[in-house]
Amino acid sequence: MSDPRASGRPHRDSWLPSAMVRSVLGLAQPPARRSLPGLVAGTVSAASAVALLACSAWLITRAAEMPPILFLGLAVVGVRAFALSRAAFRYLERLLSHDAAFRQLGALRLGIFARLVPLAPAGLSGTRRGDLLTRLVRDVDELQDFPLRVVQPLLTSGIVAILSVVGVWLVLPAAGLTLALCLVVAAVVGTLLTGLLSARSERALAPLRGALADEVLEVVENLDVLTAFGALESRLDNLRVVEEKLRLAALRTSTGAGVQAAVISLCAGAATVLALTTAIPALGSGGFSGPALAVVVLIPMAVFEVFAMIPPAISAWRRVRSSAERVQSVVPEQIPAEIPTELATGNALVDTSAPVSAVLPAAGAVLELTGLGARWPGADRAALSGVTMRLTAGDRVHLAGASGAGKTTLAQTLVRFLDYTGSYRINGVEARELAPSDVRQVVGLCEQRPWLFDDTVRQNLLFARDTATDDDLLNVLARVGLTDWMNSRGGLDARVGERGALVSGGQAQRIALARALLADFPVLIVDEPTANVDTGLGDTLVRDILSASADAGRAVLLISHTPVPTELITRTYTLTAGSGLQADPTPEEALVP
C-alpha cells in the first residue's frame, strides 16, 4: 500500500505524528531559551486577566458594605496592578513569542532547504511545481503556527485553568469542582464536535491549497497554448473545481470554529450558574461572605475567556500536522537510495580552488561505463541497464534511441543526480567514491528544457563563472551564434523572461550552451537540443553545438532521437529499453555489452 503522504494527501491514521514528522516539527519549535520568556509572559498576562476580574469583583462587592477605606487599599492596588500587568505582559508575550517564532522560521527554511538540495532534481520529479512551491512556502510558513498557536496556547491555558481551579477550590471547594468539571466538558465536547465537523477539512486545507496553486501555475504558464487550441475553458473548469473544494473545506472549518465558540460559551454560562447554585447555600457559613461569592461566581467567566484558546489550538494542530506531513513527504529524513549523497571524505578529483581546465588541461577526462544501470526514486524497475561505453577527450558521440529508452536517465546518472549500479569510472576513479559535486565539475549537462532566470543575459551566464568579464561573455555568445540576436535585443542587458519566456526554444538552448561552455566542462552532455525548435533550425543548432564544443580536451555526448550528420560526430550509440547500448559497428573502439 502506498504512503498517502507521497501524493500530498494528509495522514489520518493516528493522532500523534510519525517520527519523521516530529523531526520537521522539531525544526519549527524554538529552543527553550527563546520560547520560555514568551510562555512566561503569556501565562502572567492570562493569569492577570483572571486575577483582575476576581479582584474587581471582590472590591466592588466589599465596597458596597461601606468598610473603612483602609480595608480596600490592597484591592485597589491589586486592580491597578493586574490591569497594567495584563496589557504589559500581553505586549511582551506577543513580542517575545513572535520574535522566537520568526527567528526559528528562518532556521526552519534553511533546514528544509538543506534537506531539499540533495534530492534535486531527480528526487523531486514526482512532485508538481505548483504543489512543490506551496509546500516550501505556504506549508513551511504554516509551521510557525506550531509554537504560536499550538504549544503556547495549550500550555498557557492549561496552567491558568489549573491555577484558577485551585484558587476557587480554596475559597469554596464545591465551586472549584464545578469549575473543573465544566472546563473538562468544554475541552472534550468542543474538541470532539469540532473533530466531527471540520477535522477532515482542516487536514485537507494544505493539500487543496497546493492543488490550487498547481492548477493556477499550469494555466498561467500555458495560457497561450491553451488559448490557441481552445482548451483554456476546460482547464479553467478544473481550476474552478479545485477552488470550490477549497472553499467548502474552509467553510466547514469555519463551521467547526463557530461550534467551538458556542460550546465554550455554554460551558462558561453553565460554570457560572453552577457556581452560583453551590455558593448561595454556603453564605454565612465557614466565613464565606458576599464578596467571596462574587469571586467564585465571576472567575469562571474570565477563566473560560482564557480557556477558549484550547479548541482553536487543537484545530491549529491538525492544520500544522498536515503541513508538516506535506513538507516531510517532499524532504524526507532519509534520502532515497537512488539519490547519491555528498561524501564526508573521499578522493579529490579536482582542485575546487581552480577551474577544471587548469587541473586537466591536456588529458581531459575519460569516462568508462561498464554494465551501467539506474533507477528513479520510487520506481519499481530500473530505467536503465547494461550500458557499456567509453568517452574520451575529443569525442563527439551521438546517443540515439526512442522516447523512454533511458537517454535522459543516462544523462542524469552521468552528472550524479541518480545513483547507479555497475561501474562508472572517471579517469580511472569509480564515480561513487567521489563527491557528486566533484563529478559535476567535470561532467556538465545542458538539459532538454534549460532553466533561464528572469534576469538579463549577463546574469544568466555569470553564475556559471562569476569572474567572467563582458568580453568573455561576448566571446562565448559568439561561439554559439548569438551575436546578431543579442545586439538586436540591446546587448548583455537584454532580459530573457521567466524561464526564458522572452526567447525562442533555440535561443534558450544556445544561451544554456554558452553557459556550459563558460563553465568549461571537460565533458559536456547536451540532452535533446532540437526538442523545442523546428527541423531547419534544429540542424543548424546541432552543428553550432558540436562545432562550438569541439575544443581540444572536451568530449561531447549529444543526446537526440533525430539523426545527426555523420561528419559531425565520431561515433553513434543507440539505446534500447531493456537491451542496453548498441554501438555503431564501424568504430573499432565501440564496446557492446
pLDDT at 581: 61
Q: Is residue 10 part of a domain?
A: no
Burial of 110 (0-12, 13-18, 19+ CB in 10 A): exposed
At which of 287, 315, 330 does a domain end?
330
Strand order across the 523-527 sheet: 443-446, 523-527, 555-559, 396-400, 571-576, 580-583
Burial class of residue 563 in the structure, from the number of CB atoms within 10 Å of its CB (0-12 exposed, 13-18 middle, 19+ buried): exposed
Residues 6+ apart with CB under 8 A from 397: 389, 391, 555, 556, 557, 558, 569, 570, 571, 572, 573
Q: Is 426 helix (H, G, I), strand (E, B) or coil?
A: strand
Which among 334, 494, 365 has a CA at the least distance from the CA of 440? 365
Distance CA 407, CA 374 (A): 11
Within a domain: residue 498?
yes
> Domain residues for 547?
356-583
pTM summary value: 0.63
The three cell numbers locating residue 108: 526552519
Same domain, 325 and 377: no
The pLDDT, as a whole number, for residue 131 is 67
* pLDDT tens, the chain, 593 aa long: 333 333 344 444 444 567 777 878 888 889 989 999 999 999 999 999 999 999 999 899 988 888 888 788 888 999 999 999 999 999 999 999 999 998 888 888 887 777 777 777 766 666 666 667 777 777 788 888 899 989 999 999 999 999 999 999 998 999 999 999 999 988 888 777 776 777 677 677 777 887 887 788 788 877 877 888 888 888 888 889 988 888 888 887 777 777 778 888 888 889 999 998 998 888 877 778 888 889 999 999 889 988 888 878 887 888 888 888 878 777 666 677 777 776 544 444 444 444 443 333 334 688 999 889 888 887 788 888 888 888 888 888 888 887 777 888 898 899 898 889 999 999 888 998 888 888 888 898 888 778 888 888 888 888 888 888 888 888 888 877 788 888 888 888 888 887 777 887 778 878 888 888 888 888 888 887 776 666 666 677 777 777 766 665 688 898 887 777 777 788 888 888 765 565 554 443 433 33
Q: What is the DSSP letter of 393?
A: T
- What is the number of domains present in the chain? 2
* CATH code of residue 194: 1.20.1560.10
Q: Which of 270, 295, 330 is the last residue of a domain?
A: 330
Q: Give the amino acid at 306.
A: V
581, with CB counted inside 10 A (0-12, 13-18, 19+), is buried
Q: Let me know if residue 401 belongs to a domain.
A: yes
Grid cell, residue 207, equals 493539500
Cα 335 to Cα 114, 115, 331, 422, distances in angstroms: 12, 8, 8, 21
Q: Which DSSP symbol is given to 136?
A: I
Are 469 and 570 within one domain?
yes
Residues 360 and 323 occupy one common structural domain:
no
Does 133 share its domain with 37?
A: yes
Q: Among 391, 441, 392, which Cα is nearest to 415's?
A: 441
Angle value at C-alpha 320, between 315 and 323, nearest 5 degrees: 135
- If DSSP codes are grouped into helix, strand and coil, which group holds residue 508? helix
One domain, residues 209 and 60: yes
Question: Which residue pairs, CB below 8 angstroms and at least 24 apart, start in 469-473?
Answer: 472/518, 473/514, 473/518
In a domain, 341, yes or no: no
pLDDT, position 549: 65
Last residue of a domain, which of 295, 330, 365? Answer: 330
Does 510 lie in the same domain as 467?
yes
Based on the domain organization, do 140 and 196 belong to the same domain? Answer: yes
At residue 334, the pLDDT reads: 66
* 150 assigned to some structural domain: yes
Q: Among candidates 117, 127, 122, which has minimal Cα distance to 410?
A: 122
Answer whether residue 83 is part of any domain. Answer: yes
Question: What is the reported pLDDT for 156?
Answer: 94
Q: How big is the CA angle at 81 (ends 154 and 300), to the nearest 5 degrees? A: 45
SS3 391: strand
C-alpha cell at 498: 521567466
- E strands along 129-180, which residues? none
User: Is residue 281 located within the same domain as residue 172?
Assistant: yes
Are residues 310 and 377 located together in one domain of the fold?
no
